[in-house]
C-alpha cells in the first residue's frame, strides 16, 4: 500500500535489487493454443535444448571512462544486494563519464545460472558522494556496505514495541499500518520470522498512511499507549486482535468499537488507553515514527528493514527468510 496515490505501487526503490522478487509475484496469462487434429501422425518433435547459463559480451575498455566507482565497489554492492540469490550472475559492462562532474553512468548485465531467465541490462547513475545511486525515479544507498547508515539510524531511533532479543545485532524493523490489508497479510511472515530467527529483535514501527486510511493514526496511537502502559507482549496481542478485525476500521465509529474490543480481548482498559491515545504526546510519537519512515525513503507498507536493508514484508516467506539469513551472514552474525 503506497503512501499516496501519486506514487507507484510496489518496491520502486528496490527495483535494481529485487528482480527475482518482482518476477516471482507476477504472472502472464497466455491463452492456450487451439486444439489441432493432424491429418496423419507426425514425427516426434526433437527435445528442446536445455537452458544454459548466459554468456555476456566481453566488456569494451572504451566503455570505462570514469574512474569512480570502481568495478570492485560495484561488484561488492551487487554482492551485498543480490548475493542471497544463488543463481544470480552479473557482469559490469560500462562505467562511463557523464556531462555532470562526478556522476557516472553504469551498465550491468545480469542473468541466471540456469539459463531460465533472459539476460538483461540494468542502468543506473552513481552520485559524486560515492554513497548513492539513482535508478529510475529513486535514490538508493550504494557502496560496499550500502545498508550500514540505515542500520545505525534504526538502532538509535526504532523505539517501537519488540519481540525476541534485546540485542540489536540482527534487527528487523517492520513499518506497518493497521488499516492496510497487505500489512495484515504480512503478519504471518512476521510470526514465522520470530520462530525461525529467535536471536532477532523484531520491532513494530507505526507508519499510518493517513491520506488513504483515515483511522490508521488512531489505531497507531492506541498501540503506542498499549506498549507504553502494558509492554510489548500486550502490544502484540492487541495488534493481532486489530488486524484480525481490520474491516471494522472502515469508519470512525467502527474503529472505536474495533479498537475497544481488541483492548478488552487483551485484558486492557479501553478508557485509559483512549485517554492516552488522545494526548498530544502520543500523537507526536506516531508522527515521529512516520517521519522515521520518510527519512529512510520508505514509500510503501508493509516494509521490513533487515539491518538497514529494505524489503517488502509480504514477499513469499522463503524469499524473505533467505534475505534475513543472508544479511545476518553479511553482518557477521552467528545464527
pLDDT at position 42, please? Answer: 53
Phi, psi of 21 (to 5 degrees): -65, -45
Per-residue pLDDT at 35: 41
57 lies in a domain?
Answer: yes
Mean pLDDT over 90-94 rounds to 97
Judge if 177 and 261 occupy the same domain: yes
Are 56 and 175 members of one domain?
A: no
Q: Does the pLDDT of residue 22 top 90, yes or no?
A: no
Q: According to the model, what pLDDT value does residue 15 have?
A: 43
**What is the tally of structural domains in the chain?**
2
pLDDT for residue 46? 65
Task: Evaluate whether residue 47 is within a structural domain.
Answer: no
What integer pLDDT is reported at residue 115 of this predicted model? 85
Last residue of a domain, one of 100, 126, 146: 146
Q: Is 19 helix (H, G, I), strand (E, B) or coil?
A: helix
Residue carrying C-alpha cell 520502486:
12
At residue 200, φ and ψ (nearest 5 deg) are -80, 150
- 170 and 255, same domain (yes or no): yes
**Stretch 281-290: mean pLDDT, rounded?**
98
What is the pTM (predicted TM-score) of this model? Answer: 0.84
Task: With respect to residue 114, please indicate whether it lies within any of the assigned structural domains.
Answer: yes
Average pLDDT over residues 53-79: 95
Tell whether the model's pLDDT for residue 18 goes beyond 60.
no
Whole-Å CA distances, 261 to 118, 181, 200, 240, 250 = 52, 19, 31, 12, 15
270 in the same domain as 198: yes
The verdict on 121 and 225 lying in the same domain is no
**For residue 203, how many other CB atoms are within 10 A of its CB?**
21
At which of 125, 146, 167 does a domain end? 146
182-237 tens-digit pLDDT: 999 999 999 999 999 999 999 999 999 999 999 999 999 999 999 999 999 999 99
Q: Which domain CATH number covers 159? A: 3.40.30.10
Do the Cβ atoms of 321 and 196 come closer than 8 Å?
yes
**Parent domain of 262:** 149-330
Predicted local distance difference test score (pLDDT) of residue 116: 83
Q: What is the pLDDT of residue 33?
A: 37
Residues 316 and 175 in one domain: yes
Please indicate, yes or no, whether residues 66 and 214 belong to a single structural domain of this protein: no
User: What is residue 178's predicted lDDT score, i.e. its pLDDT?
Assistant: 98
Half-sphere CA count of 130, side-chain side, radius 13 A: 9
Are residues 176 and 305 both part of a single domain?
yes
Do residues 174 and 207 both lie within one domain? yes
Last residue of a domain, one of 146, 167, 196: 146
What average pLDDT does the structure give for the chain?
Answer: 88
142 and 165, same domain (yes or no)? no
Query: Are residue 71 and residue 168 in the same domain, yes or no?
Result: no
Specify if 14 maps to a domain.
no
* 95 and 241 both lie in a single domain: no
Amino acid at each position: 500500500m503506497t503512501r499516496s496515490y501519486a506514487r507507484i505501487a510496489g518496491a520502486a526503490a528496490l527495483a535494481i535489487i529485487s528482480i527475482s522478487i518482482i518476477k516471482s509475484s507476477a504472472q502472464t496469462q497466455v491463452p492456450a493454443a487451439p486444439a489441432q487434429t493432424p491429418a496423419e501422425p507426425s514425427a516426434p518433435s526433437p527435445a528442446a535444448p536445455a537452458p544454459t547459463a548466459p554468456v555476456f559480451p566481453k566488456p569494451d575498455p572504451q566503455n570505462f571512462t570514469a574512474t569512480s566507482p570502481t568495478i570492485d565497489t560495484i561488484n561488492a554492492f551487487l554482492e551485498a544486494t543480490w548475493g542471497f540469490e544463488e543463481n544470480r550472475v552479473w557482469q559490469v559492462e560500462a562505467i562511463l563519464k557523464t556531462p555532470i562532474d562526478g556522476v557516472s553512468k553504469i551498465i550491468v548485465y545480469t542473468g541466471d545460472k540456469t539459463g531460465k531467465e533472459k539476460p538483461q541490462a540494468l542502468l543506473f547513475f552513481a552520485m559524486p558522494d560515492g554513497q548513492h545511486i539513482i535508478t529510475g525515479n529513486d535514490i538508493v544507498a550504494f557502496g560496499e556496505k550500502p545498508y550500514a547508515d540505515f542500520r545505525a539510524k534504526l538502532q538509535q531511533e526504532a523505539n517501537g514495541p519488540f519481540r525476541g532479543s534485546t540485542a540489536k545485532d540482527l534487527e528487523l524493523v517492520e513499518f506497518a499500518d493497521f488499516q492496510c490489508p497487505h500489512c495484515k497479510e504480512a503478519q504471518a511472515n512476521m510470526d514465522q520470522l520470530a520462530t525461525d530467527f529467535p536471536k532477532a529483535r523484531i520491532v513494530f514501527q507505526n507508519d499510518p498512511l493517513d491520506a488513504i486510511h483515515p483511522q490508521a493514526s488512531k489505531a497507531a496511537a492506541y498501540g503506542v499507549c498499549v506498549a507504553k502502559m502494558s509492554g510489548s507482549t500486550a502490544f502484540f496481542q492487541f495488534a493481532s486482535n486489530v488486524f484480525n478485525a481490520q474491516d471494522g476500521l472502515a469508519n470512525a465509529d467502527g474503529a472505536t468499537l474495533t479498537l475497544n474490543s481488541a483492548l478488552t480481548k487483551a485484558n486492557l482498559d479501553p478508557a485509559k488507553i483512549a485517554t492516552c491515545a488522545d494526548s498530544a504526546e502520543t500523537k507526536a510519537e506516531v508522527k515521529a515514527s512516520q517521519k522515521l519512515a520518510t527519512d529512510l525513503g520508505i514509500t510503501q507498507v508493509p516494509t521490513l528493514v533487515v539491518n538497514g536493508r529494505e524489503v517488502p514484508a509480504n514477499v513469499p516467506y522463503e524469499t524473505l527468510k533467505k534475505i534475513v539469513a543472508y544479511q545476518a551472514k553479511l553482518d557477521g552474525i552467528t545464527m
